[in-house]
């Protein structure tokens, strides 16, 4: 039974065979050959006899190569821990399992913008979701494990939903970003994936709280103010595939026993994708400017070149999507078009935040996590960049506004898990766990693998 299991507590209190971690490591290697959830496995896992956690490969772990999935950061070994990692170690009962696969620098929705993409835990022909692809696959395949992941515009929600696990993205500023390799600073959040809501809550409590190294971190109290209404947004549901719409309708029927369900119109939410990608690319191109093969990033060996040739060669190590975002982001920020795109995007973002804040005072916003059934790898590869970006329709609004949100599995479609996303007001994060814990009482998810359950 998956529901209501607090696997962290259960594991810590259980007797384990003396060779538990050696056997787990062997299972991890076998798993990695087929599904590629890990960029790096910690061979020293389990020295302290504690519960295994992984980190997305853009979160710094002292002494372990941390590349954010990019060749530009090959051989980068951080001399420090990200605050979230430091707090996991400080809690005393967690052990570092390894770093999880991801789209390069977090750029992607399906986990394909990386050298060796992770495969869906339920069927390796299907995408794992992204950008925290490996985190979701590891969570779905390993019985005792939690993942520290990161979301800019949906990177926790989407892969968690596609692999049938809980994905929690906290309020912006609730968890320190110190030690996170930035994608877009005004949007990035470190969050958690786990098999139960209780485990995400437990880890959130370990990693959250103010941090002198991150001035955007907030001291605001985290509340648990439950809502009795669930809003669906007409403009977003219009873009949903009929198969997903009907499954989601069945979920609403069930939830309708405990909550009032209301469809509302929020025009602004249908305009979220464009400002998100404008702001995200502008910030990303600024952040990536420092990786020039000279001081930061992979050291380009050929120094005997002209200035432009050197940087062109060195920066050719970026993947295709990263290059696209550098070029577009730099253009968006340029003096001649700044007002037209960037400034306008900021004002639309403000409008979306105001509209959502109003709605979220009176209820949760609920939706599917992805507007289509999980695509096969071959199908996702055929999508154009703009078709790819359009897949983030449900996950971008809460990310733009820094609103906490959680995805939870609620069934399967053609054998693949489907997930729903619940959003609440800023700093009301605890109410999301409460909602999902109640849901889990009547629901159980069957996983194909339960590795690490020896």
Q: Which residues are designated catalytic?
A: 56, 131, 155
Cβ atoms within 10 Å of 4's Cβ, excluding its own: 14
Shortest Å distance, C-beta 327 to ligand GLN: 15
| Contact present, 180 and 66 (Cβ < 8 Å) | no
What part of residues 183-242 is at the interface with ligand GLN (CB under 6 A)? 183
Note whether 70 binds ligand GLN by CB under 6 A. Answer: no
What part of residues 21-60 is at the interface with ligand GLN (CB under 6 A)? none
**Residues near 412 by beta carbon (within 8 Å), at least 6 away in sequence:** 164, 418
The span of 6-14, 150-158, 311-319, 341-349 binding ligand GLN (CB under 6 A) equals: 150-158
Note whether 283 binds ligand GLN by CB under 6 A. Answer: no
What are residue 155's phi and psi, to 5 degrees?
Answer: -70, -10
Note whether 106 binds ligand GLN by CB under 6 A. Answer: yes
Note whether 155 binds ligand GLN by CB under 6 A. Answer: yes
What part of residues 388-427 is at the interface with ligand GLN (CB under 6 A)? 392
Shortest Å distance, C-beta 147 to ligand GLN: 14
Q: Which of 109, 218, 424, 431 binds ligand GLN (CB under 6 A)?
A: 109
What H or E segment, with its residue span, contains residue 419? strand 416-423
Handedness of CA 312, 313, 317, 321 (dihedral sign): positive
Paired tokens of 236? 């977003």
Residue 160 or 198: the one with the smaller Cβ distance to ligand GLN is 160
Q: Which of 39, 83, 152, 194 binds ligand GLN (CB under 6 A)?
A: 152
| Contact present, 130 and 111 (Cβ < 8 Å) | yes
**Which residues in 124-157 are b (16+ Cβ under 10 Å) and which e?**
eebbbbbbbbbbbbbbbbbbbbbbbbbbbbbbbb
**Residues near 284 by beta carbon (within 8 Å), at least 6 away in sequence:** 105, 107, 183, 184, 325, 326, 329
The CA distance from 56 to 138, in Å, is 11
Q: How many CA atoms lie within 13 A of 137 on its CB side?
A: 34
Residue 111 or 293: the one with the smaller Cβ distance to ligand GLN is 111
The CA distance from 222 to 271, in Å, is 29
Residue 31 or 288: the one with the smaller Cβ distance to ligand GLN is 288
The span of 78-86, 105-113, 328-336, 348-356 binding ligand GLN (CB under 6 A) equals: 105-113
Residue 167 or 409: the one with the smaller Cβ distance to ligand GLN is 167
Paired tokens of 176? 């320190």
What H or E segment, with its residue span, contains residue 277? helix 273-288
Residue 66 or 152: the one with the smaller Cβ distance to ligand GLN is 152
The span of 152-160, 242-250, 350-358, 441-449 binding ligand GLN (CB under 6 A) equals: 152-160
Note whether 129 binds ligand GLN by CB under 6 A. Answer: no
Q: How many CA atoms lie within 13 A of 388 on its CB side?
A: 22
What part of residues 79-98 is at the interface with ligand GLN (CB under 6 A)? none
Shortest Å distance, C-beta 191 to ligand GLN: 10
Residue 154 or 363: the one with the smaller Cβ distance to ligand GLN is 154
| Contact present, 50 and 94 (Cβ < 8 Å) | yes
What residue ranges bind ligand GLN (CB under 6 A)? 106-109, 131, 151-155, 183, 280, 392
């Amino acid at each position: 039974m998956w529901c209501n299991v607090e696997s962290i507590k259960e594991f810590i209190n259980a007797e384990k065979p003396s060779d538990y971690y050696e056997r787990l490591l062997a299972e991890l290697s076998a798993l990695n050959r087929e599904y590629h959830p890990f960029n790096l496995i910690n061979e020293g896992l389990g020295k302290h006899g504690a519960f295994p956690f992984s980190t997305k490969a853009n979160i710094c772990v002292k002494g372990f190569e941390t590349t954010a999935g990019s060749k530009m950061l090959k051989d980068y070994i951080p001399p420090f821990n990200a605050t979230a990692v430091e707090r996991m170690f400080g809690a005393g009962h967690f052990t570092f399992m390894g770093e999880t696969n991801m789209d390069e620098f977090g750029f992607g929705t399906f986990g394909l913008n990386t050298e060796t993409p992770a495969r869906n835990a339920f069927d390796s022909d299907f995408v794992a979701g992204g950008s925290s692809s490996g985190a979701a696959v590891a969570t779905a395949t390993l019985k005792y494990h939690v993942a520290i992941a990161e979301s800019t515009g949906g990177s926790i929600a989407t892969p968690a939903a596609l692999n049938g696990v809980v994905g929690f993205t906290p309020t912006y500023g609730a968890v320190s970003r110190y030690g996170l390799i930035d994608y877009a600073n005004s949007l990035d959040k470190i969050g958690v994936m786990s098999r139960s809501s209780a485990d995400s809550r437990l880890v959130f409590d370990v990693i959250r709280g103010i941090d002198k190294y991150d001035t955007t971190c907030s001291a605001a109290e985290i509340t648990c103010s439950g809502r009795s209404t669930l809003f669906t947004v007409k403009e977003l549901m219009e873009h949903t595939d009929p198969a997903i719409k009907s499954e989601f309708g069945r979920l609403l029927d069930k939830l309708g026993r405990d909550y009032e369900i209301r469809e509302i119109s929020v025009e602004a939410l249908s305009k979220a994708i464009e400002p998100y990608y404008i702001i995200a690319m502008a910030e990303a191109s600024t952040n990536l400017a420092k990786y020039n093969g000279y001081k930061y990033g992979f050291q380009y060996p050929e120094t005997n070149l002209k200035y432009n040739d050197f940087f062109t060669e060195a920066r050719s190590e970026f993947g295709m999507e990263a290059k696209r975002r550098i070029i577009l982001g730099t253009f968006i920020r340029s003096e001649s078009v700044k007002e037209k795109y960037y400034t306008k995007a900021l004002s639309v973002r403000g409008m979306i935040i105001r509209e959502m804040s109003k709605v979220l005072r009176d209820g949760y916003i609920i939706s599917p996590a992805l507007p289509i059934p999980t695509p096969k790898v071959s199908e996702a590869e055929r999508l154009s960049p703009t078709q790819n970006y359009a897949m983030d329709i449900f996950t971008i609004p809460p990310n733009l506004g820094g609103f906490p949100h959680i995805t939870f599995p609620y069934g399967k479609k053609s054998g693949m898990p489907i997930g729903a996303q619940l959003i609440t007001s800023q700093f009301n994060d605890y109410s999301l766990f409460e909602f999902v814990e109640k849901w889990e009482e009547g629901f159980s998810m069957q996983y194909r693998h339960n590795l690490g359950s020896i």
